[in-house]
């Protein structure tokens, strides 16, 4: 429509980010939305063709994007986490990946008709599943911890190694097709080793510079970005196509240096990665030739995709997990779920370009083949994972796990009460010091920004049905609820009331439901905790009804949640009036006066007279105890007890 490079770049980036938003808003796979957007403006309506408009810039842009994407992915390969892998995970990412490579290469050659050279390159690339695709599916399906962990870590670990394997296959094939001599083979391995060394050295230099404070905060992210590109180009100039190996080695080294400052550039890195993935994906699909698009429905390609779905993936999983503790239901689910994602298509587009430049004409089908596999796996696996997981009894839908965002003293006390009910609980905060109370109580906790995409790579949120945003920043709480609404559903998202000093009308974000009855801010809840209020559980029985409890309760108490007889939790809100039946328990934040009253009743045996004056009990109660618990003669512990 407009013969302008500037217009094409603007439209590509706009469509990429808009597609990401639409996918988040309507709980759709982002890769599907971006594919549709790229195809509409490209081969279908012919509005843009980035490859023609950009000319010689098209290849370098794709190459730089792939380098950044691989570096970002390799930053997740922390050896400390890999060491903790169970036996099946280790088998899948080694033996299973190798079987998938060989079987996928054979299928590409005999079924899709690709040459051996192109087949082994694409076979190595297609071992990846990718966290950007698998993580949303896991949240959607609510899998049990073990199958969810296996699928998640397989995607994280294998993701950069798929491209790495393709690089090695390409370099090896180039040497095989030329004059094969001992000198050429030694040169190949020496160049690969040197690329790894360059990446390792770059990571060591930039990592130590970060730790020593030699680089100011505002320059850390830009300098890291430049160093990644420099490492890639420098290695690539020494020997063509070894740049990807260098940046992957750099990312892995930095991931294992235990850098305290790595989180400082995490947001920038995520933003760049999302921007590049979105833009490059739309750019590749918009540049597809309509003839290649038609090839997606070629019987040979469809047969290849079917073989990858129903033969290669199940075969690699079943063989690699022989002798492990996985049951047949878990092996069946894992053997089916393997969606290919944005990284696979982006990197395949890169290899299609360089293979064509090296005279491999059948590489024209590479993009169509990859696009077909990505599209079919994302759609089929995305719409079947929930159904299959339920049929195989591998879901956690009946649990009431709670993730609490914010490490205040009240949050820790609430989390402890939930833990005592037998439900999963997790406290998350951005600061280590903020979680001191949680650590003191021995509660599961995690330091990180819950809105960061990287947190999803290291934190499994599938066991948690509810999320409570209870930080001291009201807008942040609202953003958390808005961000997780497509995944958890707004009925499972709660936030504390706005602080009294805040102008509620200025907040236009559709956050979560207001917590507790009556609704109260985290500041007020903290003040009550410091004033001696405690979380107390009251059982509802046939003799002591919920109506009687409401009539007799202290007017200062805050209703927190109901623990149902079956162990499930329901939180009180101002707008929804919950009812409790016999066998349920009411958990509430009660005032010291109510606690003292119950102590006096216990001491005087219900006669109304106590040998200890009320004033002495009140003075004793208001003393700050050691260890965070109050020591009152004759009083029951304040913490909630598990329902038997």
Tell me: the pLDDT tens digits for 106-132? 999 999 888 888 888 888 888 877 666
Same domain, 377 and 411: no
Whether residues 288 and 437 share a domain: the answer is no
The stretch 366-384 carries a mean pLDDT of 83
Same-domain pairing of 518 and 406: yes
Which residue range is the domain that position 508 belongs to? 401-628
**Does 412 reside within a domain?**
yes
CB contact at 8 A, 499 and 519: no
* One domain for residues 198 and 145: yes
Q: Is the confidence at residue 269, as pLDDT, over 70?
A: no
What does the pLDDT average to over 578-582? 88
Place 532 in a pLDDT band, splitting at 50, 70 and 90.
confident
CA 249, CA 226: separation in Å to the nearest integer? 16
Lowest-pLDDT range of 42-51, 83-92, 463-472, 584-593: 83-92
Query: 614 near 644, Cβ under 8 Å?
Result: no
User: How many other CB atoms are found less than 10 A from the CB of residue 318?
Assistant: 17
Residue 339 sits in a domain whose CATH number is: 1.20.1530
What is the distance between the alpha carbons of residues 498 and 514, in angstroms, rounded to a whole number?
Answer: 9
pLDDT of residue 607: 47
Q: How far apart are CA 81 and CA 379, in angstroms?
A: 30
- Is residue 378 over pLDDT 50? yes
pLDDT band at 469 (very low <50, low <70, confident <90, very high): very high
Report residue 137's pLDDT band, with 50, 70 and 90 as the boundaries: confident
Whether residue 635 has pLDDT greater than 50: no
Name the average pLDDT for the chain.
Answer: 79
Residues 436 and 299 occupy one common structural domain: no
Residues 6+ apart with CB under 8 A from 108: 114, 118, 119, 122, 123, 304, 369
Residue 35's pLDDT band (boundaries 50, 70, 90)?
Answer: confident
606 Rama class: left (phi>0) / alpha (psi -120 to 50) / beta: left
CATH number at residue 598: 3.40.50.720
**pLDDT > 90: percent of the chain:** 17
Residue 437 within a domain: yes
> Rounded to an integer, what distance in angstroms lies between the CA atom of residue 76 and that of residue 454?
8
Arithmetic mean of pLDDT, 165-177: 70
Same domain, 463 and 386: no
| pLDDT tens per residue across span 546-572 | 888 888 887 788 999 999 988 889 999
pLDDT of residue 595 exceeding 60: no
pLDDT in tens, 319-339: 998 888 888 899 999 999 988
SS (H, E, C) 565-627: CCCCEEECCCCCCCCCCCCCEEEEEECHHHHHHHHHHHHCCCCCCCCCCHHHHHHHHCCCCHH
pLDDT above 70: residue 615: no
pLDDT on residue 643:
37
Residue 458 C-alpha from the chain's centroid: 7
Helix ranges restricted to H, 239-364: 243-255, 266-286, 290-295, 299-307, 313-320, 328-336, 342-357
Same domain flag for 124 and 266? yes
What is the model's pLDDT at position 554?
78
In a domain, 597, yes or no: yes
Confidence of residue 629 (pLDDT cuts 50, 70, 90): very low
pLDDT at 251 over 80: yes
Are 503 and 594 within one domain?
Answer: yes
Of 330, 365, 391, the residue that ends a domain is 391
373 lies in the same domain as 411: no
Query: Distance (Å, rounded) from C-alpha 358 to C-alpha 352?
Result: 10
Q: Is residue 598 part of a domain?
A: yes
pTM of the model: 0.66
State residue 79's pLDDT score.
64
Ramachandran region of residue 364, left (φ > 0), alpha (ψ -120 to 50) or beta?
alpha
Of 118, 127, 131, 77, nearest in space to 98 by CA: 127
Task: Determine the pLDDT at residue 611.
Answer: 47
Half-sphere exposure of 307 (CA within 13 A, CB side): 20
**Domain identity same for 426 and 568:** yes
Domain end among 366, 391, 416: 391
State the average pLDDT over residues 371-381.
Answer: 84
Question: Is 351 or 223 the better-scoring residue by pLDDT?
Answer: 223
User: Of 388, 216, 282, whose CA–CA distance to 33 is shortest?
Assistant: 282
Range with the poorest average pLDDT among 350-359, 422-431, 463-472? 350-359
Instruction: Answer yes or no: is 35 within a domain.
Output: no
* The total number of structural domains that make up the chain: 2
Are residues 232 and 88 located together in one domain of the fold? yes
Give a yes or no: residue 346 inside a domain. Answer: yes
Q: pLDDT at residue 581 above 50?
A: yes
In this structure, is residue 197 part of a structural domain?
yes
Kindly indicate the confidence band of residue 410, based on its pLDDT and cuts at 50, 70 and 90. very high
Quote the pLDDT of residue 65.
Answer: 80
pLDDT for res 627: 39
Residue 268: name the closest of 224, 203, 212 by CA. Answer: 224
19 belongs to a structural domain: no
Q: Mean pLDDT, to the nearest integer, of 446-471?
A: 81
Which among 334, 360, 391 is the end of a domain? 391
Residue 505's CB is within 10 A of a number of other CB atoms, namely: 6
> Which pLDDT value is given to residue 597?
58
Q: Which residue has the higher pLDDT, 370 or 626?
A: 370
Q: Yes or no: say if 343 and 73 are a contact pair by the CB < 8 Å rule.
A: yes
Q: Do 440 and 539 have their domain in common? A: yes
Q: Are 340 and 377 in contact (CB under 8 A)?
A: yes
């Amino acid at each position: 429509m407009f013969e302008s490079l500037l217009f094409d770049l603007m439209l590509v980036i706009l469509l990429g980010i808009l597609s990401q938003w639409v996918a988040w808003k309507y709980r759709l796979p982002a890769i599907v939305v971006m594919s549709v957007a790229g195809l509409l403006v490209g081969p279908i309506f012919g509005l843009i063709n980035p490859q023609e408009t950009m000319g010689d810039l098209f290849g370098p842009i794709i190459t730089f994007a792939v380098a950044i994407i691989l570096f970002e992915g390799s930053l997740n390969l922390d050896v400390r986490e890999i060491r903790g892998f169970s036996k099946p995970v280790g088998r899948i990412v080694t033996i299973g990946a190798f079987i998938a490579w060989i079987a996928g290469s054979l299928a590409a050659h005999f079924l899709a008709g690709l040459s051996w050279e192109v087949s082994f390159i694409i076979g190595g690339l297609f071992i990846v599943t990718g966290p950007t695709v698998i993580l949303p599916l896991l949240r959607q399906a609510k899998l049990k911890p073990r199958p969810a962990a296996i699928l998640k870590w397989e995607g994280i670990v294998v993701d950069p190694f798929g491209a790495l394997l393709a690089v090695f296959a390409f370099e090896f094939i180039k040497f095989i097709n030329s004059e094969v001599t001992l000198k050429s083979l030694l040169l190949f391995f020496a160049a690969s080793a040197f690329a790894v060394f360059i990446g390792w050295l770059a990571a060591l230099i930039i990592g130590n510079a970060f730790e020593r404070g030699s680089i100011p905060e505002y320059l850390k992210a830009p300098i890291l970005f430049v160093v990644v590109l420099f490492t890639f180009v420098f290695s690539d100039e020494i020997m063509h196509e070894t740049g990807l190996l260098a940046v992957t080695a750099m990312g892995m080294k930095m991931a294992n240096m235990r850098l305290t400052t790595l989180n400082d550039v995490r947001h920038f890195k995520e933003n760049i990665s999302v921007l590049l993935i979105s833009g490059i994906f739309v750019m590749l699909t918009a540049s597809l030739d309509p003839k290649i698009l038609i090839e997606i429905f070629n019987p040979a390609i469809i047969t290849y995709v079917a073989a990858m779905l129903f033969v290669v993936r199940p075969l690699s999983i079943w063989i690699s997990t022989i002798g492990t503790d996985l049951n047949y239901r878990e092996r069946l689910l894992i053997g089916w779920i393997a969606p290919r994602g944005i990284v696979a298509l982006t990197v395949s587009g890169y290899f299609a370009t360089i293979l064509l430049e090296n005279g491999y004409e059948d590489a024209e089908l590479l993009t169509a083949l990859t696009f077909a596999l990505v599209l079919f796996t994302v759609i089929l696996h995305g719409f079947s994972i929930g159904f299959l997981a339920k049929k195989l009894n591998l879901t956690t839908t009946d649990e009431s796990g709670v993730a609490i965002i914010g490490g205040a003293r009240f949050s820790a006390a609430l989390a402890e009460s939930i833990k005592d009910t037998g439900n999963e609980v997790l406290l998350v905060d951005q600061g280590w010091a903020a979680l001191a109370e949680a650590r003191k109580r021995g509660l599961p906790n995690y330091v990180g920004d819950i809105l960061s995409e990287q947190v999803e790579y290291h934190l499994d949120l599938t066991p948690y049905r509810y999320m409570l945003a209870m930080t001291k920043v009201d807008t942040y709480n609202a953003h958390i609820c808005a961000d997780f609404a497509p995944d958890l559903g707004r009925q499972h998202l709660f936030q504390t009331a706005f602080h009294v000093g805040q102008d509620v009308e200025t907040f236009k974000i559709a956050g979560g439901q207001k917590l507790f009855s009556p609704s109260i801010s985290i500041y007020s809840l903290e003040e009550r905790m410091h004033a001696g209020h405690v979380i107390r559980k009251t059982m509802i029985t046939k003799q002591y009804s919920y109506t009687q409890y409401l009539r007799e309760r202290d007017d200062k108490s805050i209703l927190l949640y109901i623990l149902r007889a079956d162990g499930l939790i329901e939180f009180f809100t101002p707008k929804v009036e919950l009812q409790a039946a016999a066998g349920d328990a009411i958990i509430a934040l009660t005032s010291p006066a109510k606690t003292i009253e119950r102590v006096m009743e216990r001491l005087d045996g219900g006669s109304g007279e106590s040998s200890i004056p009320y004033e002495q009990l009140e003075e004793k109660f208001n003393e700050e105890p050691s260890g965070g618990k109050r020591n009152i003669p004759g009083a029951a512990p304040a913490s909630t007890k598990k329902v038997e």
